[in-house]
Structure 1
Amino acid sequence: MAAVTRDDVEWVGGDGALGEIFCLTFIKQVDEAEALSRLGALPDTLCRRTLQEAHEAYDSYESGYAELAFALDLGTWTVLIEPDGFQGSLIELLTALSRGTEAVSVQRHDYADHGFGYAVDGTLVTKFEPTWPDRRWGAEPDRLLEQMRAAGLDPDVEDDHVSGAYVKALLLAGLITGTVPHPDALAGELLSAEVEPWFSAASPPLSHGPTDPEMTAALRAAPPHLLRAVAARETTRLATVLNLEDTPGLTEAIAAAERGEPVTVSPDSELGAHVRSWLRRSRQAGRSLNDPSARSEMSDDERNTAFMLGWFADALNAALWPEPHAAARAALRPLTQGPPPLHDPVQEATVLRVLRGEPNPK
């Protein structure tokens, strides 16, 4: 196989086929359908589409501002292509994609940060913003130094700001994988699906959770059964506040998670359909604020309600996560950081006492 060169990646620069925002994630020895599934593909949306269809869906209120991903077989590796997207660049998803294999992610975002990440079997090896390659983190941040220098991402140069960094990041990915997609392969229809990471195997976001030192310490010290109980009871409280407690399958799923049993909610289940609806509505609420043609589609009350559905969906996802500490931390986020009426200082104090094993005051 010929080595990947700068000429093989120049097409992503400027106003190339993928535009100003995209994510390319390479997964080794995983086929197209499985790669999409790992990203949280909704099975009933799986079909062949063009990139233009993805751009149109992403900008459409009626489509729920759907995020689509495409999969392209490159031989040993499959690349996931997210026009306008970034999911594969997130630590939680990248590490989930890499379980049992390897995954490499390249993110271009002209209005935020570019990104590069490499994970192996569920562990983040190295991650950095290619514009500043000297600022890296992960289990082995220096593992790729030789390839980084070959790609033009030398962290030891005096000028630590790299221009056109995402092009060089794609070259780095090519040096690792031995392959990159050719722009001609993106011109037609590719296997694709709407993706909803809620249904992936990614852990709750590492950044989600209480910031109060007392609550953080109590979470760290509490035994697993208490952590699961707090996550379950707080999610149940939120369901009651939002009048969602009668959602089919919800009570059973939360109870099973509290008992420490594995819980999987499929996108085509009754509960899964409700989750999809909540997430879609929350996405419409947020994205329509910057969409002049759709801003009036929701009243202020409808938008606030939709936002709270998104908070609840995130808390439920956390409560069902099998690792109790991460589950409790993320499930408590609406209580400690959410909007009224989800944020409740009195209930927060009660949770803190429960985690510490203290009796409730009379």
Structure 2
Amino acid sequence: MTVIPVYRSWQRIETWLAEHAPRTFDSLRPPASADAISAAADELRMKFPADLVESLRCHDGVSPGHGLFQFPGGDQPLGIDAILRRGRMDQQLWNRLGEDHPDETYWHPEFLMFADSNPPDGLVLDCREGATFGAVGTHLKGGGTSFGRWPSLAAFLHELAGGLEHGLAMGWWRKFVPVVWQETLLWEEEPQPLPVPRSLREVAATVAAPAAPEVGQDPLPVVAEEGWAGEYASFCLSFVRGLDESELLRRFGALADTHRPRSRGQAQADAQRWTAGLLPVVRAGRCGQWAFGIEEGHRWEGNRSEVLRRLSRGTQAVSLSFSGATTMSYYEDGEVVTVYDTRRSYQQPGEGDPFDIFPELPAHGPAAGRLLPDGRTSLGSLEVPTERTPLLQRATLRAVCGVVSDHFGIDLPPGALTGELASAQVLPVLPGVDGRYRPPTELAEHITTASEARLRTVLATQMCSLAAETGLDTYPEVIEALHRAGQDECHGVDDDSPLGIRLRTVFADAAAAWSLPRDDDGHLLIDLSERDAWQHRANAAGALADALSLPAREVIGSVLHQRRNPDWRAEFTEQLGEAPHEHRGAPPHERQVRTPTAHARRRRSTQ
């Protein structure tokens, strides 16, 4: 493929933007001066690729503000001043790391960031002398730097110009298509076809289940320490007043056909067995007026607020968990009373001050997060002697156990957590609804001016589209719920209803797929495309739960955020009864045409 010069690609980009996205076109800054570019290269002691120099002589980055020009994926081109600041920062970091620097697949002092959206991630130029000089790559903080897609900035801009002109997808691991909305250029991820994902439980049904561990087998380590903490290196222990073991397990979300006595080792084995769906296991017992549930592993149900609300309904529940940090949560009749967490010294909304209720609690250490005057949170000081930290953590745990025992009169006898206890695998209850995604800024006016009734109708239509895009509409319980989503009054989702159990199962299948279990030969049981399909389906399930529980204005953002159709903005506004403002690729008829600004014309005349 013949690659045209950088300035010619910029001319094509400018022409397309001026015609279709004039607000974005106007964000392109005038050229950088040759002297500024040369001075930056000298300070960084780098040889800038000629393509970068030519690009900066076209546009010195972009002006901040709504609708600014971005490359596919959201990276915005940096001006020479920003390139210099970023280069200084990277070189200072590299020099400070010294011999402990990452290898060159992560970063090299002659890599140069020329576009970013969320520092330190962005687009990189290879400024090392050699065959790869001038290549364009991507840098991710957690993944390092990758090259191989574009041998030069000229090739990158050439592909970008063609993508805009023909509405083609462009990108690295993920590809994005150009979308115009209200005279601005946006990039929407190109949706890939989702497979029909298999459930891990469906795969397990095709193989013989492994034999259960022998009774009494207990391979897990025991901490040599007296008290509640003395048997477990990490755990979650939940107490509920006035319940028996069966009711405690039911409130946890236990599956009836998995009830049986289990030892500690058996519970761990069942929780980690893929043929059992990788579901958590809770073991239950009683001490006086209190029932207790004990969990190990990395997924604890007993410290989730949704579970504690169920456990405490009509009574009291207190949960104590430890994994280096100690957390104690106290709930009454479905509502939080207080939470003590050694990782933070502030309260979340709705939580009371734990020291008002439990004055004997250990004070927070210097490592606990604190609130700043502007309401943001801050990490605390980490200057705790590392050789003493485990001992201090265990001492804090023992002190909190003593406070809980004294305040609630819980007398957990030695050995209460050993041996076999009543137990069951649990199907995790639904996460709380919160309408976590705000409506897109560009649609705020449309959403604000629409009536609640109209918005509720459109919300239901959007939810139906999302369910179809993700396969969530393959379940009869969901189909019935989609009919209800357009009603003026929504009453939420009962965890134990057919719909609630279906959505909980979707979340459980998605969580199991994310663990990427393998068979005895090391082969993936659920492939990566199925894992991604489960995640999309679980996200849609969460949006549906929100749609059935919250006012339309609070939840519309959650639904729109998950949509996979790049033209969802036009679809949404058309459903609201307004004219569409979005298109992809070639422009619609009768659109006003803008011409390049004066600075762009002057720059062209100098080429």
Give the match's secondary structure for 1:182.
coil
Alignment-derived partner of residue 137 in structure 1? 348
Partner SS state of residue 116, structure 1: strand
1:88 counterpart SS class: coil
Identity %: 25
In structure 2, C-alpha distance between the alignment counterparts of 1:49 and 1:137, rounded to whole Å? 36
Instruction: Go from structure 1 to structure 2 and tell me whether the alpha carbon gap of 1:306 and 1:223 turns closer, same or farther (over 3 Å shift).
Output: same
Match of 2:530 among 291, 302, 317: 302
The answer (yes or no) to whether the contact 1:27–1:78 under 8 Å persists in 2 is yes
Kept in 2: contact 1:127–1:141 (CA 8 A): yes
By how many angstroms is 1:159 displaced? 8.3
* CA distance in structure 2 between the partners assigned to 1:129 and 1:255 by the alignment: 42
For the pair shown, the structure with the greater C-alpha radius of gyration is 2
Within the alignment, does 1:191 sit opposite 2:416 as a pair? Answer: no
Q: Give the 3-state SS of the residue equivalent to 1:174 in structure 2.
A: helix
Q: Deviation of residue 90 (structure 1)?
A: 2.1
In structure 2, what is the equivalent of residue 28 of structure 1?
A: 241
Q: How does 1:244-283 map to 2 (within 5 A)?
A: 244-259=472-487, 260=489, 262=491, 264=494, 266=496, 269=498, 275=503, 277-283=505-511
**Match of 2:577?**
359
Q: Structure 2: how far apart are the matches of 1:195 and 1:218? A: 43
Compared CA separation, residues 51 and 154, structure 1 to 2 (3 A): same
Please state if 1:168 is matched with 2:168. Answer: no
TM-score by length of 1: 0.73
Question: 1:145, 1:186 → 2: CA distance?
Answer: 31
Structure 1: distance between partners of 2:413 and 2:479: 48
1:78 to 288, 291, 307: 291
| RMSD, matched Cα | 3.9
Q: Which amino acid aligns with 1:145?
A: D
Cα contact 1:105–1:173 (8 A) shared by 2: no
Q: Which of residues 273, 276, 282 is equivalent to 1:60?
A: 273
Mean alpha-carbon deviation: is it higher for 209-218 or for 34-43?
A: 209-218
Contact 1:50/1:190 (8 A) holds in 2? yes
| 8 Å CA contact 2:280, 2:425 repeated in 1 | yes
Output the amino acid matched with 1:150: E
Which deviates more, 63-72 or 248-257?
A: 248-257
More helix by share: 1
1:288 maps to 516
Separation in 2 of the partners of 1:222 and 1:212?
15
Distance in 2, matches of 1:184 and 1:217, equals 62
| Structure 2 residue aligned with 1:210 | 438
Letter in 1 for 2:347: R
* Alignment correspondent of 2:330: 118
Q: Unmatched 5+ residue regions in structure 2?
A: 1-224, 369-383, 385-391, 581-607
* Conserved? CA contact 2:244–2:286, under 8 Å: yes
Answer whether contact 2:439 2:560 (CA < 8 A) is retained: no
Displacement after TM superposition at 1:240 (Å): 0.9
- Which amino acid is 1:106 matched to? L
Matched-pair contact (CA < 8 Å) for 1:89–1:107: yes
Query: Tell me, what secondary structure is at the counterpart of 1:99?
Result: coil
Runs of at least 5 residues in structure 1 that lack an aligned partner in the other structure: 1-8
Does the CA-based 8 Å contact 1:89-1:105 persist in structure 2?
A: yes
Name the residue aligned to 1:150.
360
Paired position in structure 1 for 2:40: none
Alignment partners' CA distance in 2, 1:41 and 1:220? 43
**2:540 aligns with one of 295, 305, 312:** 312
Q: CA deviation at 1:67?
A: 0.7
Q: State how far apart, in whole Å, the 1-side matches of 2:544 and 2:307 are.
A: 18
> Which whole-Å CA distance do the structure 2 matches of 1:224 and 1:208 have between them?
19
Contact 1:198 1:317 in 2 (8 A): no
1:347 is matched with which residue: 568, 576, 590?
568
Q: What's the TM-score, normalizing by structure 2?
A: 0.46
Determine the structure 1 residue equivalent to 2:558.
333
